[in-house]
Amino acid sequence: MESWNIPQAVSLREVGPRDGLQAEPTVIDTADKIALVNRLSAAGLPRIEVTSFVSPQWLPQMADAEQVMAGIARRPGTRYSVLVPNLVGAERALVTRPDEMTLFVSASETHNQKNVHRTIRESLEGFHQIIEKVGTQVSISAVIVTAFGCPYEGVVTPAQVIALMDRLEALGIQEITLGDTVGVANPRQVFAIVQQVSHQRPAIQLGLHFHDNRGTALANLVAALQAGATRFETALGGLGGSPFSPGAGGNLATDDAVYLLQEMGVDTGVDLPALLETTQFLVEKLGHAVPSRVFASGGRMVPQGGDPHGH
């Protein structure tokens, strides 16, 4: 009897157009960003984080947020989200009619100060203003960044994370993603927190967002699955890393996550060959390689009658 027990399907949110591209030093053409989002929706990604309404002075790569949102072809069934750092960003975003807005706060006080120059309390007050402004027009989710470890404070405990979740839930936010911003989470830690949240805070719709700085992201994905997680954020090709987080590395590659999930019989709704063609498109536009191993391997193995090198 198989005791392996994981969900039959998971929901991926593609964050490459935002989390991936924001780390790129060369500004990508708006038309290419639009084409990228359209290719991702055509490949079957159910949710796509399209852009960020951060100040263009801070992040010139995202200065065309309005144009990208206006230019994409909205595929029925795909949910398009945007990252919103503050009330000004939310007001800009609202005009572009996203399906979802993502807010972010750090699990550790020092990281929040360095990242957004606010205390956690001030960030949460900002969320309250945004929620009042947005009302029920757009669904709102939150990402807790540095949820598994902080580059300034080191250890972040599950109790710290759950306490912050409670403050978000008190604001009416029930969809919460835990971000391993600097890639320090390990599978045991991931399993424990997913299990703890699902037992202690069953109303929370938990998501996980892994970075692969130390090669642990796929292992963390499997551990989260084993603990029952069904929602993940990944970036095409494994791009990314925050320009404001020292030591931040690439996101878990969507290519690698989709491949692994499909091989394990977990449905993602994503067409892997179409996804890999999108990664090829991305690589051409970026002009450099991307970390995804599945992309480098060309996707699924196609048996060709023996390996001539005998490996």
Residues of this chain that bind Zn ion (CB under 5 A) = 19, 251
Tell me how far, at minimum, the Cβ of 250 lies from Zn ion, in Å: 8
Residues 96 and 82: beta-carbon distance below 8 Å: yes
Tell me how far, at minimum, the Cβ of 9 lies from Zn ion, in Å: 23
Residues 73 and 62: beta-carbon distance below 8 Å: no
Strand-pair category, 11-14 with 79-83: unpaired
User: Interhelix angle for 158-170 vs 187-200, to 10°?
Assistant: 40
> How far apart, in whole angstroms, are the C-alpha atoms of residue 88 and residue 92?
6
CB atoms inside a 10 Å sphere around CB 229: 25
Tell me how far, at minimum, the Cβ of 83 lies from Zn ion, in Å: 11
Token code pair at residue 304: 């060709």
Q: Give the ranges where 56-172 is alpha helix by DSSP (H).
A: 65-71, 87-95, 109-116, 120-134, 158-170
User: Interhelix angle for 217-226 vs 254-263, to 10°?
Assistant: 40
Token code pair at residue 104: 């972010």
Residues 193 and 158: beta-carbon distance below 8 Å: yes
* Amino acid letter, 136: T
Tell me how far, at minimum, the Cβ of 177 lies from Zn ion, in Å: 10
Tell me how far, at minimum, the Cβ of 71 lies from Zn ion, in Å: 24
Tell me how far, at minimum, the Cβ of 279 lies from Zn ion, in Å: 17
Q: Give the ranges where the chain is alpha helix by DSSP (H).
A: 30-42, 65-71, 87-95, 109-116, 120-134, 158-170, 187-200, 217-226, 254-263, 272-286, 293-297
